Structure 1
Amino acid sequence: MEAVTAPGKRIIMMCMAVAALLVSLGVRAGEAAPTAGAPAQELGRGFSAVHDTSYPQFQPVLSDPTGVFALGFLRVNSSLLDIAVLHLPSAFPLWRAIPDRPAPWSAAASLSFNGSLVLTDGATNQVLWSTPAAAAGDRAVLLNTSNLQIQSSSSPGAAWQSFDYPSDTIVQDQNLTSSAALYTVDRRFAMRLGSHYFGLYIEPPPSTSRGVAPAMYLKHTALEAKAQIEIGPNGAPIYARVEVDGFLGMYQKEGPPADVMSFDTFNHGIKAFRRMTLEPDGNLRAYYWDGSGSRWALDYTAITDSCELPTTCGAYSVCVPPSGRCACLANATDGSGSCAAAETGSSGLCGTTGGEVGGLYWTVRKQGVEPVNKELLGFEHAPSAEDCEARCARNCSCWGAVYSNGTGYCYLMDYPAQLMVAADERRVGYFKVRSLEEEKASTGGRAAAGVKAALLAVGVALVVAAAAFGAYRVWDRRRRTEAETMRQMGTDGDGLSPGPYKNLGSFSSVELSSSFNSFRR
C-alpha cells in the first residue's frame, strides 16, 4: 500500500504544479502549455507576469511560434524599465512601448492582460502604459513577423497591433502610414509621410515647442511616379513599406509601388529579415539580418554627408565640409563645449509692438554661411541683405534669415539656427538666439521692474493718504468752529435753524459773512 501511495502523491503534486504554471502564464483550458521557464505563446484574459529584476537585460513573457521574437520587460539606459518586442538573435528592440512616465528597472512592476495589455507599477498601483481600452480582445499573440496583436474571437482582424504604433523601427511587410511616424527614442527626430513624399524632421523640445516648427532636413519625393499618386481631397493617403527584395516602396493602393527607393542589395536575391530604423544621430538606415554572420548588415544610409546630419554640430553652429569640423556662429559656447544654448522661451519672438524687443533675444550676424537644407526652405526675393534681415526681425515666428547676394533669395527659418554650413562670402546670415542665460536675465529684469512699479505705487499711495489726512483735519477743525458759532447764535447742533429756510434771511449780511468766513480759518 505504501508503494502505491508515494507515486500517487508525486502525481498529484506534479498536476498541481502544472496547473499553477498554466494559471501564471495565462493559458486557458485546452491550450498547449509551454515548457517550464519558457515564455507563453498566447496570453489569455487574467494573465499577469511580475517583473523579475534577476534578469540582467530582458525578461521574456510572450514568444512568437518560431522563437525568434519575444515580448517582455526590457532594461534601457542601464536603469529604466520598458516593454519591448525583441529580435532575440541580436537582442535588438524592434518595438517599444516607451511609457510617458518610465519606471526604474528595480520597480516592482507587472504586465497583465484582461482585454488590454497594461504595465503597472506595483508599489504605487499606477498604470505606466496600456493599450487602448476600446481595442480590447480575448488574447494577445506575437506573430512570426514580430507584430504584437490583440485578437478577438468575434472579429477576424486585430483589435490592436504594434505595427500600427511603431517606435523607431519598421520591419519588412509593415506599413508606415501617414497617421503614424517613426521617432527616435529621445523624440529629437521624426520620419513622417506627406502627400507624395517622406521627410526627416528635427522635432522641437516639448517644453519649448510654441513658436518653433519642426525643421525638415531630408525629403524623398516620388518624382518619377508623382503622376500615379492622386493628390488632393480625393486622393487616398500614401504608405511606405520595406520589401523583402531590398527596397522601400511608397504606395497609394495595393499593387505595384508608386515609388521605389532601392537598398544596396536591391534585386540581389538576398532573402533575409529586414528592418529600417531612425537612429539616435538622426540618420535613416536599413539593415538585413545576416544569419550566417549573426549580425545586422547595413543595406542603406539616407544621409552620407556628415554636415547634413543635425547631430554633427548641433544648434547655433556651422559645419565645414568636407571635414565635418564645427564652429560656433557667435564664436562662443555655453560652457559645456556646445555653441550657445538652444531656445528655452515659449512666448515667441515679439513684444507688444510686434518687433524686436531687448531681453527676449539677441542677434548674430555671420557672413559665409547658408542652410544645408535650403532647398527645403521657403524663400522670397529681396533687394538687399538689410531688407531680408528686416523681414525676419518683424516676423514673430522667424528665427533666422540667410540672404544670397548672387540670386537675391532670402531664406527664412521658423526654427532656431541649425544645419548651417560654410559657404562663400556672398551669403549673409542673421539669427535670433534665445539662450537660458538670456531667458533668466529677461525674467529677472521683468521681476525687478515689477518690484520698482510696486514700490512706486506704494509711495504714491502714502502721499495721497497724507494729503487726505491733512485735508480732513482742516475740514474737521472748521466744522467744529462752525458748530460752536451756530450754537452761540441759538441754532441746534447740526448748524441749521429749526425754523424755515427763509429765516436765514433775518441775519444781516455782516453776520452771514462773519459766520461763513469762520470755515476758512
Structure 2
Amino acid sequence: MAARIHLVRAVMFVAAAALMASFSAAAGEGGAAATAQQELRRGFSVSHDESYSQFQPVLADPTGTFALGFLRVNTTMLDLAVLHLPSAFPLWRAIPDRPAPWSSSASLTFNDGGLALIDRAANNKVLWSSTAVASSASAGDRVLLLNTSNLQIQTTTSAAAGVVWQSFDYPSDTIVQGQNFTSAAALYTSDRRFAMRLGSNYFALYIEPPPSSGVAAATSAAAMYLKHTALEAKAQIVAGGGPIYARVEPDGFLAMYQKEGPPADVLSFDTFNRGVRAFRRMTLEPDGNLRAYFWDGTRWALDYTAITEPCELPTTCGAYAVCAQPTGRCECLANATDGGSGCAAPAAVVSSLCGATTGGLYGAVRRQGVEPVNKELMGFERAASAADCEARCERNCSCWGAVYSNGTGYCYLMDYPAQLLVEGDERKMGYFKVRSMEEEAAARGGSGSRRAKAALLAVGVAAVVAAAAFGAYRVWERRRRNAMDARRQLGAVDDEGLSPGPYKNLGSFSSVELTNSFRR
C-alpha cells in the first residue's frame, strides 16, 4: 500500500510539472505575439528561438489577428507561416522543399529587398526566399502583414512604388476571402498528394503523381477527380478574353470571374444569402477534399464540402483498391496489403510496368465488375475487346490500368496508379498494374523500414526506461524495508506499514493547486 501511494504521488508530481511547463510556454508565446513588429525594414534579421513550443511570431498585422513567424509542423520540422492567431490555423506557409528541423539555428532575414528563410547550421543554406519564388520581382523596402492576412513586400521609391511580392499570389493550401486565385497558382496539400487548379472555364481537383523513381516517375500524370465548370449565368467567359480567377466572397460563395463585374459562376456555401458576415477561408485538406469555413468567433464553422460521397474521395480507399457504394467499404484489388493500410501486388505475381525487364516491380491484376468513379473526367478509346484494351496498356509505360466496357466498347486508360475504382456491373473488365510491396517501399523512400526502425527504437527506449525505473524502485523498496524494520523494533509502525498521523489517508489530491501566473 505504501509503495502504491508513493508511486501515485510521484506520477501526480510529474503530471503537474508537465502541465505547468505547457502553461508557461503558452504564456510566453502569447506575450511575444503582443510584441511582434508591424513592419520590417531592409537589414532585418531574427533568429529562431527553440524555446517557443509551436509558433514564434515575428510580424503582426495592425489588428493583432494575424502573425508571420516560425511554425512547428509535423512535431519536428520548421516552416515560415502566416497564422490566424485566434485559431492557430496557418493560412499561408512557405513549405520549403527541404525543411529544417525545429531545433535548427534558422533565421528570417530581409536583405537585398527579399525575404529569406536560412538554415545557419547548414552553411547559411537558403531554405526558402521570396525572390526564388518570384524571380522577376524587384527589390522591396519594407514588409507588411495586412489585416486581410496578405503578406506584402513593398517598395516606396517614387519610380516604382507599390507591391513587388505578396503571399496572396503564392497560396499553399488555403485561400481567404478577397484573395484572387488565378490560373498561375495552385493549392496543394502539405504532402503534395492533391492539388486544385483553374482551367479555361472551370476549377478541378487532381491526384498528383506519386513520389517514385525510374520509369514510374516519368510516366505518372495528375488525375482529375472533381471538376466544377462555370455556369456562365450572369457573365460569359470569352475565348481570348484573358484567364479566369476565383475568389471567396464575404457573402458566402466562391465566384469565378474573367473580369471584374458580374461573376461567370457562383458556387454557393451553406450560409449564402443568410447575412453571415465573418472571416472566411477555403482549404484543400489532407484527405483531398475541398472545404470552406467561416470564423464564428470561437471556431471554424464548416460551410461547404465539395465531395460528399465517400467513394468519390481518393483517400477513402487509396490506390489499388475498390470502393463499394454507398457504404465506402474498401477491398484491395489483389487481396494483398503492404502490412499497413494500403494495398499492393501479391509477391508471387511480379512483372514490369512496361511489360519488359525494366521499370520496377509490378503485379498484373485483372478484376471484373469494376469501373472508375471519375470516368466522365477521363479520356477513352474504342476497342474491339477486353483483350485489345488490355494489350494497349500492358506494354505502355504511361499506362497503369485499363477498364473495358462490353456495353459501349469504350476502353478507359489510366495514366496514374489505379484508384477511385468502384463496383460496377459484370460487363466491366479491368486490367491493372499494381505496385509490389518492395517497389512501394522504395517509392516512399524506405518510409516503411524507417517506421519499423523507429518502432523498434521506441520499444528499446521504453524497455530501458522501464528497467531503470524497476531498478530504482528495488533500491528504494530495500531501503524502505530496512528503515521499517528498524522502526518496528521501536514500535513506531502500525499494521499497514504507515506511520500514524494526519497524512495516512492520501486518497484525494484535491489540495494540489496550479497557478497560471507563469513567465518564460
Which category describes the TM-score, using the shorter chain as reference length?
Answer: 0.7 to 0.9
CA, structure 1 residues 349+358, in 2 after alignment: closer, same or farther (shift >3 Å)?
closer
CA, structure 1 residues 390+356, in 2 after alignment: closer, same or farther (shift >3 Å)?
farther
Q: Secondary structure at the match of 2:218?
A: coil
Q: CA deviation at 1:440?
A: 10
CA, structure 1 residues 75+268, in 2 after alignment: closer, same or farther (shift >3 Å)?
same
Which AA in structure 1 matches 2:114?
Answer: S
**Of residues 330, 337, 350 in structure 2, which corresponds to 1:333?**
337
Residue 50 of structure 1 corresponds to which residue in structure 2?
47
Q: CA deviation at 1:137?
A: 0.3
CA distance in 2, matches of 1:36, 1:282: 32
Q: Deviations over 1:329-376 (max 9, x none)?
A: 11111222421069xxxxx9436xxx7989764311101111010100
Deviates further, 35-44 or 198-207? 35-44
Q: Does structure 2 retain, via aligned residues, the 8 Å contact 1:389–1:430?
A: yes
Which AA in structure 1 matches 2:172?
Answer: S
1:92 matched to 2:100? The reply is: no
**Of residues 267, 289, 292 in structure 2, which corresponds to 1:261?**
267
Residue 141 of structure 1 corresponds to which residue in structure 2?
144
Residue 362 of structure 1 corresponds to which residue in structure 2?
363
Q: Deviations over 1:468-494 (max 9, x none)?
A: xxxxxxxxxxxxxxxxxxxxxxxxxxx
Q: CA deviation at 1:120?
A: 1.3
Residue 187 of structure 1 corresponds to which residue in structure 2?
192
Which AA in structure 1 matches 2:196?
Answer: M
Residue 319 of structure 1 corresponds to which residue in structure 2?
323
Which AA in structure 2 matches 1:210?
Answer: A
1:278 matched to 2:290? The reply is: no
Which AA in structure 1 matches 2:337?
Answer: T
Q: CA deviation at 1:305?
A: 0.6
Which AA in structure 2 matches 1:218?
Answer: L
Residue 377 of structure 2 corresponds to which residue in structure 1?
376
TM-score (norm 2): 0.72
CA distance in 2, matches of 1:77, 1:150: 28
Q: Secondary structure at the match of 1:392?
A: helix
CA distance in 2, matches of 1:36, 1:275: 22
Which AA in structure 1 matches 2:324?
Answer: V
Q: Does structure 1 retain, via aligned residues, the 8 Å contact 2:345–2:362?
A: no
Q: Which residues of structure 1 form unaligned runs of 5+?
A: 1-33, 343-347, 442-521
CA, structure 1 residues 118+382, in 2 after alignment: closer, same or farther (shift >3 Å)?
same
Q: Secondary structure at the match of 1:269?
A: coil
CA distance in 1, matches of 2:90, 2:32: 24
CA, structure 1 residues 120+440, in 2 after alignment: closer, same or farther (shift >3 Å)?
closer
Which AA in structure 2 matches 1:376?
Answer: L
CA distance in 1, matches of 2:441, 2:281: 45
- Which structure would you say has the larger RCO, counting Cα contacts within 8 Å and 6 or more residues apart? 2
**What aligned pairs does 1:111-510 form with structure 2 within 5 A after superposition?**
111-114=108-111, 115-124=113-122, 125-132=124-131, 134-154=137-157, 155-208=160-213, 209-225=217-233, 228-231=236-239, 234-291=240-297, 294-340=298-344, 349-350=353-354, 361-437=362-438
Q: Does structure 1 retain, via aligned residues, the 8 Å contact 2:380–2:412?
A: yes
Q: CA deviation at 1:111?
A: 0.8
Q: CA deviation at 1:135?
A: 3.3
Q: Deviations over 1:135-191 (max 9, x none)?
A: 320000000000000000023431000000000000001011111100000000000
Q: Does structure 2 retain, via aligned residues, the 8 Å contact 1:356–1:394?
A: no
Which AA in structure 2 matches 1:112?
Answer: T
Q: Secondary structure at the match of 2:219?
A: coil
TM-score (norm 1): 0.72
Residue 16 of structure 1 corresponds to which residue in structure 2?
none
Q: Does structure 1 retain, via aligned residues, the 8 Å contact 2:353–2:360?
A: no
Q: Deviations over 1:80-127 (max 9, x none)?
A: 111100000000000001111111111111111121111111223221
Q: CA deviation at 1:396?
A: 3.3
CA, structure 1 residues 337+276, in 2 after alignment: closer, same or farther (shift >3 Å)?
closer
Q: Does structure 2 retain, via aligned residues, the 8 Å contact 1:400–1:430?
A: yes
Deviates further, 152-161 or 302-311? 152-161
Aligned length: 396
CA distance in 1, matches of 2:412, 2:292: 33
Residue 494 of structure 2 corresponds to which residue in structure 1?
none
Q: Deviations over 1:18-50 (max 9, x none)?
A: xxxxxxxxxxxxxxxx99960010001111111
CA, structure 1 residues 359+217, in 2 after alignment: closer, same or farther (shift >3 Å)?
closer
Cα RMSD after superposing both structures? 2.4
CA distance in 2, matches of 1:60, 1:173: 24
CA, structure 1 residues 387+43, in 2 after alignment: closer, same or farther (shift >3 Å)?
same
Q: Does structure 1 retain, via aligned residues, the 8 Å contact 2:221–2:416?
A: yes
